[in-house]
Every structure is written in structure tokens, then in C-alpha cells.
Amino acid sequence: DGGITQSPKYLFRKEGQNVTLSCEQNLNHDAMYWYRQDPGQGLRLIYYSQIVNDFQKGDIAEGYSVSREKKESFPLTVTSAQKNPTAFYLCASQSRQKSTDTQYFGPGTRLTVL
């Protein structure tokens, strides 16, 4: 079945540690996105990538880094520079072929800093 997978579902991190969240899609989508969601809030864009080996900062990129070495994969690293990383992280992908196509979301990773 085509879709987006994120792992792990839950992640616990000690302060000062870097952690990497996985996002994989088999929808053959060019564009991929990372969002952060805080309790009771909407989604805020962290990074996005329209093609392999290229990505752009979103609205809240500070303290995060990404890579896009393969079309299927768009991992997000939460670095120790991110002051308040506890949140729900959602990955999404989208076809660039159809302007009417929606973003498809993964199930999310809930990150908690201990």
C-alpha cells in the first residue's frame, strides 16, 4: 500500500541530545514537508523540499536540520539548539504534477524532552 511512514511513534530525548525523526514515502511524490504541532495549536512549517538534494527553511527552522538524499526519504534532526523541542511532528508529501493534489500526512512522531 502507498503511504507515508514515520518512526518512531514516540521518542524521548534528554536535554542536549540530537535526535533524528524518520519520514519515508512510497507515493513517488517530489515534495516533502515537516511540520511541528504544539498542544491546541495548528501546524507550523519547519522545512520543505521540492526535489532531491534541495530544501528550504520554513517558518520555524531554527534548531532543526534536514537532508533529502533520496526522493523517498526526508529525515528531520532536532538538535540541542532547539530550546523547546517537545511537540508532535508531522511529515507530509505532495505530488508536484497536479496542482490540486493535497498533502498526504504520516501518522506523526511525539517527541518529549526529559
Partner 1 sequence: AQKITQTQPGMFVQEKEAVTLDCTYDTSDPSYGLFWYKQPSSGEMIFLIYQGSYDQQNATEGRYSLNFQKARKSANLVISASQLGDSAMYFCAMREAVNSGGYQKVTFGTGTKLQVIP
CB of 29 to partner 1, least distance (A): 12
- Closer CB to partner 1, residue 44 or residue 71? 44
C-alpha to C-alpha distances, 78 to 45, 51, 82, nearest whole angstrom? 14, 22, 7
Rule CB under 8 A: say whether 22 interacts with partner 1.
no
Rule CB under 8 A: say whether 35 interacts with partner 1.
yes
Rule CB under 8 A: say whether 108 interacts with partner 1.
yes
CB of 16 to partner 1, least distance (A): 27
CB of 43 to partner 1, least distance (A): 4
Is the omega angle on the peptide bond into residue 39 within 30 degrees of 0, that is, cis?
A: no
Cell 533520496 found at: 70
Instruction: Restricting to residues 62-91, name those near partner 1 by CB under 8 A.
Output: 88, 90
CB of 65 to partner 1, least distance (A): 19
Among 43, 52, 60, 61, binds partner 1 (CB under 8 A): 43
Q: How many residues bind partner 1 (CB under 8 A)?
A: 27
Cβ–Cβ < 8 Å for 34, 89: yes
Burial profile 2-35: b = 16 or more Cβ within 10 angstroms, e = fewer:
eebebeeeebebeeeeebebebbbeeebebbbbb
